[in-house]
Structure 1
Amino acid sequence: MNEIEVELRVLKAETKLDALREAQAVVNAVQGNLNQRIEDLAVKVAVMEAKPSSHRILDGSATLPKPAPQLSLSSDPDM
């Protein structure tokens, strides 16, 4: 009977260890995913900050930059 109890304890400990390993794998996967998302957001923020402020639309009140004036290719000097 004592031998069976020992085997059950060993089996129980191995089962707990397997469950902990699986839980750790899930935690590591979630952490990796979150870290990747944070990196992606940081890159997006850096790109947005690098653009001129006239190109940013933060609250919807910003306007797009005005188009460059059109050059005339006319040969008439008075134009």
Structure 2
Amino acid sequence: MGDLSREQEQAIARSTMYLVAVLLSILMIFIAGLFLSAELDQQALQKAETAQHIAVQQEIAPQAQHPWTPWRRHADQET
């Protein structure tokens, strides 16, 4: 009977070890998720700032609707 209780103790110890490993894995995944979420928020903020900066630049110096090309100039002279 001493052997049976020792086997049971080893089984309990093994199960406890697996439980702790699973809990640590879940905790690590949760922490990684927090970091990824923060990174995505930061990228979204940078994207919005870049879009706003581009919009301001386009208001300050709008691009020509029809850029000059030798072909267009030649076509304009014929008409």
Instruction: Report the TM range for the smaller structure's normalisation.
Output: 0.5 to 0.7
The one of the two structures with greater contact order (alpha-carbon pairs below 8 A, sep at least 6) is 1
Match of 2:13 in 1: 8
Match of 1:30 in 2: 35
Match of 1:65 in 2: none
Amino acid of the structure 1 residue aligned with 2:24: A
Match of 1:18 in 2: 23
For normalisation by structure 2, the TM-score amounts to: 0.65
Give the aligned length: 55
Query: RMSD in angstroms over aligned alpha carbons?
Result: 1.5
Match of 2:49 in 1: 44
User: Shift in Å at residue 52 of structure 1?
Assistant: 2.8
- Structure 2: runs of 5 or more not aligned: 1-5, 61-79
Q: Detail structure 1 runs of 4+ shifted over 4 Å in the superposition.
A: none
- Structure 1: runs of 5 or more not aligned: 56-79
Deviations 1:7-51 (A, max 9, x none): 000000000001001101100000000000000000000000001
> What is the alpha-carbon distance in structure 2 between the residues aligned to residue 52 and residue 7 of structure 1?
67
Amino acid of the structure 1 residue aligned with 2:43: I
Q: Sequence identity, in percent?
A: 5
